[in-house]
Amino acid sequence: MNRAFQFIRRQNCRPRARFVLAVLVVCLWSSAAGLSQENGASWSEQVRALAGTNRFTEAKQVVTRWMEAYPADLDARTWNARLLSWTNHWSEAEAEYRELVKLAPEDPDLQLGLADVLNWQKRYGEALPVLEQTCSANPARHDCQLKRARTLQNLGRNREAQQAYRQVLAQDASSAEAKAGLEQSRELGRHEIRIGSDVDLLNFAQNGSAVTAGIRSRLNSRVHSAFSATQYDRFGERAMRFGTESTVRLGSSANLTMGGAAAQDRGVIPRNEAFFELGKGFQSRGLGPVRGVELTYQQRWLWYRDARVLALSPGAILYLPKDWTWLFRVSAARSHLTGSSIQWQPSGWTKLSFPITRHIGSHLLFGSGTENFGLLDQIGRFSARTWGSGLNFRLASGQEINTYGSFQSRSQGRSQTSFGVNYGIRF
């Protein structure tokens, strides 16, 4: 604008002509500024609408075009950082956020965006100072306090996390996230004892039952171990199984579980078992309501008196909003019965778990094939469909009751109806 007026002064024309030129320059400049503001409003609204429907690639294209025309637009660069983080380009998003924080150090949204990217990379120790500084400068920001509480919880600093959740509830007593976080961050006992009973009603044989007792212990923050004993009454025989397993935490989002069992089999359960399972979790952005994904792989060996089974079972767990989870697992089982050829049998099942209230949860289950290779009547040539459901009740003082029921329809007109209940207490 100043350059335009300097140009007008240099022109060798009458004062009236200069005035007319000045008016034209002002009008043109105002029109251009208005057009720029109008375009700015339209592009940001367009990006917001695209991002709201998870069309991140198209939103990124709009932002890129605007940044090419206006490279110093902080709003556009902020959207660029958001879209980079939401599409899992965390290193690029982190670099962009750090540059923006330098340019606008008092903007809490930029600092919270940087903290989110660090948390998604499991770098909780780096995210916490950013959140503490932002929350201290903006004590009324509930979202900041919630992010800080979750970060403290991820670091294992549960007492501090509880204090942060209470601060949120003191300002907003209706915060469901803070209530859930406060309950989840309570210190649990190192040990859990669980006892249970199962009943199987069979239309082709005498009914069966099982009674189980076990203990699980947290040895340290990375290692858990468990031991269980189960007595089976099946086909007129009484068998006893003893099992043990250990889970080791590998890094921040991977676990390895290994275990085995030995039994007085009586010909109805495996004499020996061995297995391992590896799980790896991933943060999810751009997959709609899916907040995270855990991929698993399990391999089991079972040795019966007259049969051997190898089961290969990959699976996935989808973490959905409001603490819903959806599990999928498929199996390919190689069974070899004495006197017969080797057989490969597929099976699979899915389980949807969801809360009903803060203290009551439920699940729905469907399976196809021979889902349970741990019993003699669950191997061999037959097909089956299984439907099931259950409830779990969280009681006071670390106590829990789980119940379930299922119905399995097999080929050859056979069926099995199962019920079970178990009680657990932590101390």
CATH of the domain at 243: 2.40.160.40
Tell me the CATH number at 155.
Answer: 1.25.40.10
Residues 174, 196 within the same domain:
no
Residues 310, 377 within the same domain:
yes
Q: Give CA–CA dist 337/305, Å, rounded.
A: 9
Residues 177, 199 within the same domain:
no
Residues 91, 239 within the same domain:
no
Looking at the structure of the chain, the number of domains it has is 2
Burial of 174 (0-12, 13-18, 19+ CB in 10 A): exposed
Chosen domain end from 140, 157, 184: 184
Residues 29, 44 within the same domain:
yes
Residues 137, 241 within the same domain:
no
What is residue 3's predicted lDDT score, i.e. its pLDDT? 43
Residues 104, 245 within the same domain:
no
pTM (2 d.p.): 0.64
Q: Give CA–CA dist 243/370, Å, rounded.
A: 22
Residue span of the structural domain in which 83 resides: 2-184
Residues 268, 367 within the same domain:
yes
Residues 180, 195 within the same domain:
no
Contact assessment for residue 231 and residue 240, using Cβ atoms and an 8 Å cutoff: yes
> DSSP states of 245-307 as a string?
EEEEEETTTEEEEEEEEEEE-TTTS-SEEEEEEEEEEEE-SSSTT--EEEEEEEEEEEE-SSE
Q: Which two tokens stand for residue 141?
A: 């920001």
Residues 197, 174 within the same domain:
no
Residues 247, 115 within the same domain:
no
Chosen domain end from 184, 206, 240: 184
Q: What is the pLDDT along the chain (427 residues), one digit of tens a residue?
A: 444 444 444 445 455 555 544 445 444 444 444 434 434 458 878 888 887 787 888 888 888 888 888 887 888 888 888 888 888 888 888 999 999 999 888 889 999 999 999 988 888 889 999 999 999 888 888 889 999 998 988 887 888 888 888 888 888 887 888 888 887 777 667 899 999 999 999 888 889 999 999 999 988 878 999 999 999 998 889 999 999 999 998 876 789 999 999 999 998 889 999 999 999 987 666 666 787 889 999 999 999 888 898 999 999 999 888 889 999 999 988 888 777 788 888 888 999 999 998 789 999 999 887 655 555 555 555 668 899 999 999 887 778 999 999 999 988 888 999 999 999 998 8
Residues 326, 248 within the same domain:
yes
Chosen domain end from 159, 184, 209: 184
